[in-house]
A and B are shown apart, each in its own frame.
Chain A
Amino acid sequence: MLQIRGLKVAYGHIQALHGIDLDAKAGEITAIIGSNGAGKTSTLMAISGLAPITGGEIKFEGQTISAIPAHAITRLGITHILEGRQLFADQSVEDNLILGGYSRIGKDKAAVMAAVEREMDRFPILRQRRKQQAGTLSGGEQQMLAMSRGLMSEPKFLLMDEPSMGLAPLIVQEIARTIRMLKDSGRAILLVEQMAAVALGLADRAYVLESGKVTITGTGAELARDPEVKRAYLGG
């Protein structure tokens, strides 16, 4: 579904990615794990058109998308759920969801409104908070809203950046359940996580990034057993 070859990203003097290769298959969860600053977020941002690509190629369903601007990428069926939620904090929960469907609201407003209801069924707490400003939600609720907002555009392919960040373990479990359900509904997911155990438990295939390079790849189960992964995190 998605092929990355030799991807390089640099912000001015800072080279974030030194040429990585990665494949994500339809219907699978692909995980990218690694410690902070390894280049996980840059990879996702390059795919969604937010990071400056300085080399290499990204193909989605056979089409090269490296040069397409961010707002147009969304229309291809890729949605990026950003690190740290990045909600529109002053706007209501409902407005956040509607904006998630922005790319198709011109064509079919009813479908977007139906999707709002569907997402509120998915996370009933969002219905209770419907008119509340997104910034007033708790961390876990914000993550749910961020995921729902991302699903509003009916993506075929989801990029998820650190959905567990700053969340209590119980909520992380719930988020993980939702990710599994999304996979079961046929979506491909590229998951970036610092919490390796969570990610590897979910992933069909996983990549370990270190300092802008892929150092280990394998199935989720393989990597979960690999002591090298722990080393990548805690050294030793």
Chain B
Amino acid sequence: MRLPLLAATGPMGWLGIVAAALTVYALPLVLDDAFFILVMQSLAYLYIVAIGIDILVGWTGQISIGHAGLYAVGAYTSALLTTKAGFSFWASAPLGVVAAGIAGGLLALPSLRAKGPYLAMVTLAFGFMVEVTANRWDFTGGPMGIMSIPGPRLPSGEEMDGTEYFWLIGGTAIVVQVLTANLYRSRIGRTLFALQGSEVAAETVGINVYAWKVLAFVLSSVCAGLGGVFFAHQNGFINSDTFVFGLSVQLLTSALMGGSGTLFGPLVGSVILNLLPTIFAHLHEYQLYIYGGIILVTIVFMPRGIVGSLLQLNVVRGLLPKPAAIAPDPSVIAELREGARPTVTVRDLSKHFGGIRALNNVDISIKPGTVHGLIGPNGSGKSTFVNVVTGIYKPTSGEVEVAGKQVGGSSPHGMARSGITRTFQSIRLFGDLSVLNNVMVGFHLQLRYGFLSHLFQTAGAVAEEERYRRRAMALLEFVGIADRAEDLAQNLSYGEQRRLEIARGLATKPKLLLLDEPAAGVNPTELHYLADVIGRIKAAGVTQVVIEHHMELIMGISDTISVLDFGQKIAEGTATEVRANPKVIEAYLGAPAEGETHG
């Protein structure tokens, strides 16, 4: 019998949870000192906030230097509800968390399209807005803040003492960590890591990147709000001095320093950053030197953070439990053939960039179950073709039709839903995910269990994951890299990465798979393998468009070849026909130089 919440928890996990619970229980009893307990309380709730930052920054690849604002929303909501509306802590705390979650959702809106420094600015501006509002608004008490915020009461009606409050916060932190671990190992964590790996690739397997980013912001904000609530009721007093830029930096630092995306990084980072000031209390004047110095040294010398750097060591990796072998479920291959195998028609497709006609009135009809080659010299419009057909570019005019239904012009994840997916000329894998998980991301549109099921690890969600892991394994076997299933995708050889991209594409059950220069950078041995894989995909019944420069490959595998030059289709036919076509020869080899004929 297993508890749904802890379905994925092995004996080691149980041991960890019990040990953590015992530690939380024993700490204030062993070290019974009011100041120390206060420090431990702060450590515990800031750790919860750091977990939230890690979900946003370490998993999803976004950045936030304004988390103090979300933390403040939680703190002020709960403080105001208890002091002004007479709510009890138990009623106000969840509302504080909800308010922070809503604020996070709102913050996500301007953040969706902003990247790098622009995203940093959005979060920073948000943080400042909250700080200034808290400082200037009478309702939030202005600079005087809010006083006599009641602590939580026990069922007996007594207010919790410091030790009990620490137990509450520490216990909550353990629960948050367990739930986070559930997400981390599940579909949810995988999808967020995929956004970090490549937003474009995530889109092409059907992930609605914007929606998932909003989820990451909300999750992160919920954690921040929870931490803020605990802070507000800790001392019975809050004012805007707490929620400053420096706090946002500290929170970000604890996630990154510990090791972002590592599950235990936030814990390590929070412990170090929160205990440091206590340890170095007597060096008061040098505190910022130490703090700044530690940030700098870890960032420069341990770019993956403390836990991340440890995990790079083979010694440490050897200690980690080996994942159990997964029995492949080959039905996934058979199912590739299922359902309608429609003709994909590209009609009169044009794409102009400013004055440049990258693609000009191209008509191509792709017969079901065939391999359709697309060739042409550099700059002839092949890549543009793939980008338009997969929805990455909007066509200037023209249509893409699957089984007579117009699908052109929708987003890449919409195209994936219509059954069109692709691989990339410059490989776009989710580098921080395992090979197996890269394929698992490809199943995105077929998975039925959502966020809550995965958060609580319901039996259904766990079984579904298990089922699809077996199918993923079969796809890895199909492309010949099953032995690398547990390696990180970024550690594969180039040829293996190409094949992994193909396996990921196949996981979407595509009606049309576009391979964009699959042979680029692949060595001759791997090349044979690639041709073989393309042949087997064809045998499995999937329609493919292959863009390639490697002529031997493309001539060998294609049923039909279309030739593009200067954005126009100049020839179409079998390999032999195309090869003999003088237009094609001229496009490729060029007309002889004029000088040659004269001299």
B523 at the binding interface (Cβ < 8 Å):
yes
A68–B553 alpha-carbon span in the complex (Å): 38
Contacts of B553 in A (CB 8 A): 235
CB distance from B63 to the nearest CB of A (A): 25
State whether A35 and B551 are in contact (beta carbons under 8 Å apart), knowing that A13-B494, A165-B379, A177-B595 are contacts in the complex.
Answer: yes
Contacts of A36 in B (CB 8 A): 378, 520, 549-550
Is B551 within 8 A of A235, CB to CB? yes
**When the two chains form their complex, are residues A235 and B520 in contact, meaning their CB atoms are under 8 A apart?**
no
B31 at the binding interface (Cβ < 8 Å) = no
Partner of B575 from the list A197, A212, A235 (CB cut-off 8 Å) is: A235
- Please state if A37 and B593 are interface contacts (CB–CB under 8 Å): no
Chain A residues with CB under 8 Å of B593's CB are 173, 176, 180, 197-198, 201-202
Answer whether residue A194 sits at the interface, using C-beta atoms and an 8 A cutoff.
yes
Determine whether the beta carbon of A235 is less than 8 Å from that of B596. no
Which chain B residues border A212 with CB–CB below 8 Å? 523
Partner of A235, one of B378, B556, B566: B556
- The count of chain A contact residues (Cβ–Cβ below 8 Å) is 35
- B555 contacts A by Cβ under 8 Å: yes
In the complex, which of the residues B579, B585, B590 contacts A164, with contact meaning CB atoms closer than 8 Å? B590
Residues of chain A with a CB closer than 8 A to B575's CB: 235
CB-CB nearest in chain B for A230 = B589
Are A236 and B589 in contact (CB-based, < 8 A)? no
B549 touches A234 (CB 8 A): no
Q: Give the distance to chain B from A34, nearest Cβ to Cβ, in Å.
A: 10
Q: What residues on B are CB-neighbors of A14 within 8 Å?
A: 494, 521
Kindly list chain B residues whose C-beta atoms are within 8 Å of the C-beta of A15.
523
Instruction: Give every chain B residue within 8 A of A165 (Cβ-Cβ).
Output: 377-379
Which residues of chain A are near B592, meaning CB under 8 Å? 197-198, 201
A195 touching B521, Cβ below 8 Å: no
B554 within 8 A of A: yes
Interface SS of B by simple majority: helix
A28 lies within 8 A of chain B by Cβ:
no
Are B549 and A235 in contact, with the CB atoms below 8 A? Answer: no
- Return chain A residues, CB-CB under 8 Å to B551: 35, 232-236
- Measured CB to CB, the closest approach of chain A to B488, in angstroms, equals 13
Q: Is the CB of B550 within 8 A of A35?
A: yes
A residues near B439, Cβ cutoff 8 Å: none
Q: Interface code B572-598, partner A: CB below 8 Å = 1, 0 otherwise? A: 000100010000111011111111100
Instruction: Kindly provide the distance from the CB of A99 to the nearest chain B CB, expressed in whole angstroms.
Output: 25
Instruction: State in angstroms the CA–CA spacing of A230 and B497 once bound together.
Output: 30
Interface size on B, residues (CB 8 A): 37
Report whether A196 and B589 are in contact in the complex, using a CB–CB cutoff of 8 Å.
Answer: yes
Min C-beta distance of B456 to chain A, whole Å: 40
**A211 interface hit (Cβ, 8 Å):** yes
User: Are A234 and B520 in contact (CB-based, < 8 A)?
Assistant: no
- Which of B520, B554, B590, B596 touches A37 (beta carbons < 8 Å)? B520
Q: Does B235 make an interface contact (CB < 8 A)? A: no
Nearest CB of B to A56, in Å: 18
Query: How many Å lie between the Cα of A16 and that of B378 in the bound state?
Result: 18
Chain B residues near A235 (CB-CB < 8 A): 551-556, 575, 579
CB proximity of B277 to chain A, nearest CB, Å: 41
- Please tell me if the beta carbons of B590 and A196 are within 8 angstroms of each other in the complex: yes
Q: Chain A interface mostly helix, strand, loop or mixed?
A: mixed
Closest CB in chain A relative to B300 CB, distance in Å: 22
A169 contacts partner chain B, Cβ-Cβ < 8 Å? yes
Quick check: is A172 within 8 A (CB to CB) of the other chain?
yes
The residue in chain B whose Cβ has the minimal distance to the Cβ of A172 is B590
* A227 located at the interface, meaning its Cβ lies under 8 Å from any Cβ of chain B in the complex: no
A173-B593, A201-B596 in contact; A234/B585 too (CB < 8 A)? yes
- Cβ contact within 8 Å between A197 and B579: no
Closest CB in chain A relative to B549 CB, distance in Å: 4
What's the minimum C-beta distance from B481 to chain A, rounded to whole angstroms? 14
For the complex, is A154 an interface residue (Cβ under 8 Å from B)? no
Closest to A18 in B: B523
Indicate whether A236 sits within 8 Å of B591 (C-beta atoms), given known contacts A37-B519, A194-B377.
Answer: no
| Residue A166 CB within 8 A of the other chain | yes
Closest A residue to B553 by beta carbon equals: A235
CA distance A198 to B566 in the complex (A): 18
Q: Give residues 476-526 of B contacting A (CB, 8 Å).
A: 492-494, 497, 517, 519-521, 523-524
- Who on chain A is nearest to B594 by CB? A173
Query: Scoring B residues 547 to 570 as 1 if CB is less than 8 Å from chain A, else 0, what string do you get?
Result: 001111111100000000010000
Within the complex, what minimum Cβ distance (angstroms) separates B353 from chain A? 12
Cα-based distance from A201 to B592 in the complex (angstroms): 6
A119 within 8 A of B: no
Chain A's closest residue to B356 (CB) is A139
Minimal Cβ-Cβ distance residue in B for A165: B378
A37-B589 in contact (CB<8A): no
> Cβ of A162 < 8 Å from any Cβ of B?
yes
Chain A CB within 10 A, most for which of B521, B553, B575, B589 = B589
Q: Determine if B595 and A234 form an interchain contact, defined as CB atoms under 8 angstroms apart.
A: no
Residue among A37, A211, A212, A234 with the highest chain B CB neighbour number at 10 A: A234
Q: Chain B residues near A198: list those with CB within 8 A.
A: 590-593
Complex formed: what's the CA distance from A39 to B555 in Å? 21
The answer to whether A202 and B519 have CB atoms under 8 Å apart is: no
Interface membership of chain A positions 176-189, coded 1 if the CB is closer than 8 angstroms to chain B and 0 otherwise: 11001000000000
Q: Which chain A residues lie closer than 8 Å to B519 at the CB level?
A: 37
Cβ contact of B588, chosen from A18, A176, A194, A236, cutoff 8 A: A194
Alpha-carbon separation in the docked complex, A51 to B378 (Å): 21
Contacts of B549 in A (CB 8 A): 35-37
Query: 13 more A-B contacts (CB under 8 A) besides A14-B521, A233-B588, A234-B579?
Result: A35-B551, A37-B517, A37-B520, A166-B378, A194-B377, A198-B590, A198-B593, A202-B595, A211-B523, A212-B523, A230-B589, A235-B556, A235-B579
Selected A-B contacts with CB under 8 Å, 21 pairs: A13-B493, A14-B494, A14-B521, A37-B519, A37-B549, A37-B550, A166-B378, A166-B379, A172-B590, A173-B593, A176-B593, A176-B594, A180-B595, A197-B592, A198-B592, A201-B593, A201-B596, A211-B524, A234-B551, A235-B555, A235-B575
Residues of chain A whose beta carbon lies under 8 Å from any beta carbon of chain B: 13-16, 18, 35-37, 162, 164-166, 168-169, 172-173, 176-177, 180, 193-198, 201-202, 211-212, 230, 232-236
The 7 A-B pairs with the shortest beta carbon distances in the complex, nearest first, are A195-B590, A36-B549, A201-B593, A166-B379, A235-B551, A201-B596, A235-B555
